[in-house]
Amino acid sequence: MVLALLTLLYIFPSGSFPRSRLYYSYAAAALAFVLLSYTSMLVQGAVATPMGLVVSYGPMYRVFGLFAVSSLVLGATVVLRKAKEARGRARAQLWYLIIGLLIPALGIGTTNLLVPLLSNASWYGQYGPAFTLIFLGLTAHAIIRHRLMNIRLVISRTVAYFLILIFSGGALVLVTELASLLFPDRTRNLERWSVIVSIVLIAVLFQPISHFIRRAVDRYLYRRPYDYERTIRDMVHRINTMLELGPLLDYLSDVVGRTVQPERVSIYLTLPEGSEDYQLQAHRVFVDTPASAPPELLPASSEVAQYFKTHSASLLIDSPEFLLKAPLNELAAECIHPIFDNDRPIGFLVLGPKLSGDPYFAEDLGLITILVTQAAIAIKNAYLHRHVVLVNEYIENILAAMDSGVVSVAGDGTVTLFNTAAERLTGLQRERTKTMPVTNLPEALAQMLQITLVSRRPQPQRELLLTGMNRKSFPVVCSTSILTGRAGVALGAVAVLNDLSRVKELESEKLRAERLASIGALASGIAHEIKNPLVAIRTFAELLPERFVDEDFRNDFAKVVVQEIDRIDGLVSRLRGMAAPRSQAHRSIDLRGPISDTLALLRGRLEQAAIAVRTDFEAERPMVAGDLDQLKQLFLNLFVNALEAMGPGGQLAIRVAHRNSAEVPRLVVEVSDTGAGIPEAVANRLFDPFVTTKERGSGLGLSICRGIVDAHGAAIRAYNNPGRCGATVAVEFPVWRGVDIPTLSS
Binding site for ligand ADP (CB under 6 A): 637, 641-642, 645, 673, 675, 677-679, 682, 686, 691-694, 697-703, 727
DSSP letters along 261-296, please?
Answer: -BSEEEEEE--TTS-SSEEEEEEEESS--SPPPPPS
* Residue closest to 201 by CA, chosen among 177, 163, 175: 175
Q: How far is the CB of 687 from ligand ADP (least distance, A)?
A: 7
In this complex, which beta carbon is closest to ligand ADP, that of residue 498 or of residue 692? 692
Q: How far is the CB of 708 from ligand ADP (least distance, A)?
A: 13
DSSP letter assigned to residue 352: -
In this complex, which beta carbon is closest to ligand ADP, that of residue 491 or of residue 571? 571
378, 267 Cβ separation under 8 angstroms: no
Q: How far is the CB of 471 from ligand ADP (least distance, A)?
A: 48
Kindly tell me the sign of the dihedral angle through the C-alpha atoms of 534, 538, 539, 540: positive
Q: How far is the CB of 446 from ligand ADP (least distance, A)?
A: 50
| Residues in Cβ contact with 272 at an 8 Å cutoff, skipping those fewer than 6 apart | 383, 387
Q: How far is the CB of 425 from ligand ADP (least distance, A)?
A: 45
φ, ψ (nearest 5 deg) of residue 407: -130, 125
Q: How far is the CB of 689 from ligand ADP (least distance, A)?
A: 8
Please tell me the distance from the alpha carbon of residue 18 to that of residue 11, in angstroms, as a whole number.
Answer: 6
Please tell me the distance from the alpha carbon of residue 124 to that of residue 110, in angstroms, as a whole number.
Answer: 9
| Residues in Cβ contact with 555 at an 8 Å cutoff, skipping those fewer than 6 apart | none
In this complex, which beta carbon is closest to ligand ADP, that of residue 162 or of residue 719? 719
In this complex, which beta carbon is closest to ligand ADP, that of residue 180 or of residue 692? 692
| Residues in Cβ contact with 482 at an 8 Å cutoff, skipping those fewer than 6 apart | 452, 453, 456, 457, 458, 490, 492, 493
704, 580 Cβ separation under 8 angstroms: yes
Q: How far is the CB of 613 from ligand ADP (least distance, A)?
A: 14
Amino acid at 499: D
| Residues in Cβ contact with 312 at an 8 Å cutoff, skipping those fewer than 6 apart | 338, 340, 343
Distance of CA 202 to the CA centre of its chain: 60
CA atoms within 13 A on the CB side of 542: 6
What separation in angstroms does the CA of 310 have from each of 305, 340, 539? Answer: 10, 12, 114
Please tell me the distance from the alpha carbon of residue 680 to that of residue 276, in angstroms, as a whole number.
Answer: 72
Q: How far is the CB of 536 from ligand ADP (least distance, A)?
A: 20
In this complex, which beta carbon is closest to ligand ADP, that of residue 382 or of residue 645? 645
Amino acid at 478: C
Paired residues of 415 in beta bridges: 409
In this complex, which beta carbon is closest to ligand ADP, that of residue 493 or of residue 700? 700
Q: How far is the CB of 684 from ligand ADP (least distance, A)?
A: 11
What separation in angstroms does the CA of 646 have from each of 669, 718, 744? Answer: 20, 16, 36
Q: How far is the CB of 552 from ligand ADP (least distance, A)?
A: 33
164, 210 Cβ separation under 8 angstroms: yes
In this complex, which beta carbon is closest to ligand ADP, that of residue 95 or of residue 690? 690
Nearest to ligand ADP by Cβ — which residue?
701
In this complex, which beta carbon is closest to ligand ADP, that of residue 453 or of residue 645? 645
In this complex, which beta carbon is closest to ligand ADP, that of residue 430 or of residue 685? 685
* Residue closest to 668 by CA, chosen among 612, 719, 702, 617: 617
In this complex, which beta carbon is closest to ligand ADP, that of residue 505 or of residue 616? 616
Q: How far is the CB of 521 from ligand ADP (least distance, A)?
A: 13
457, 436 Cβ separation under 8 angstroms: no
In this complex, which beta carbon is closest to ligand ADP, that of residue 542 or of residue 569? 569
Q: How far is the CB of 700 from ligand ADP (least distance, A)?
A: 6
In this complex, which beta carbon is closest to ligand ADP, that of residue 422 or of residue 691? 691
Q: How far is the CB of 679 from ligand ADP (least distance, A)?
A: 5
Q: How far is the CB of 441 from ligand ADP (least distance, A)?
A: 51
Query: Which residue pairs from 327-332 have beta carbons closer than 8 angstroms and sit at least 24 positions apart in sequence?
Result: 327/302, 327/303, 328/304, 330/295, 331/266, 331/294, 331/295, 331/298, 331/304, 332/264, 332/289, 332/291, 332/292, 332/294
Q: How far is the CB of 678 from ligand ADP (least distance, A)?
A: 4
* Residue closest to 285 by CA, chosen among 323, 253, 321, 331: 253
Q: How far is the CB of 639 from ligand ADP (least distance, A)?
A: 9
* Residue closest to 232 by CA, chosen among 366, 332, 103, 416: 366
| Residues in Cβ contact with 705 at an 8 Å cutoff, skipping those fewer than 6 apart | 634, 637, 638, 687, 716, 729, 731
In this complex, which beta carbon is closest to ligand ADP, that of residue 357 or of residue 675? 675
Q: Strands 315-316, 335-341: parallel, antiparallel or unpaired by DSSP?
A: antiparallel
Please tell me the distance from the alpha carbon of residue 277 to that of residue 745, in angstroms, as a whole number.
Answer: 69
Q: How far is the CB of 572 from ligand ADP (least distance, A)?
A: 15
In this complex, which beta carbon is closest to ligand ADP, that of residue 157 or of residue 694? 694
In this complex, which beta carbon is closest to ligand ADP, that of residue 71 or of residue 728? 728
In this complex, which beta carbon is closest to ligand ADP, that of residue 357 or of residue 726? 726
In this complex, which beta carbon is closest to ligand ADP, that of residue 281 or of residue 703? 703
Paired residues of 437 in beta bridges: 414
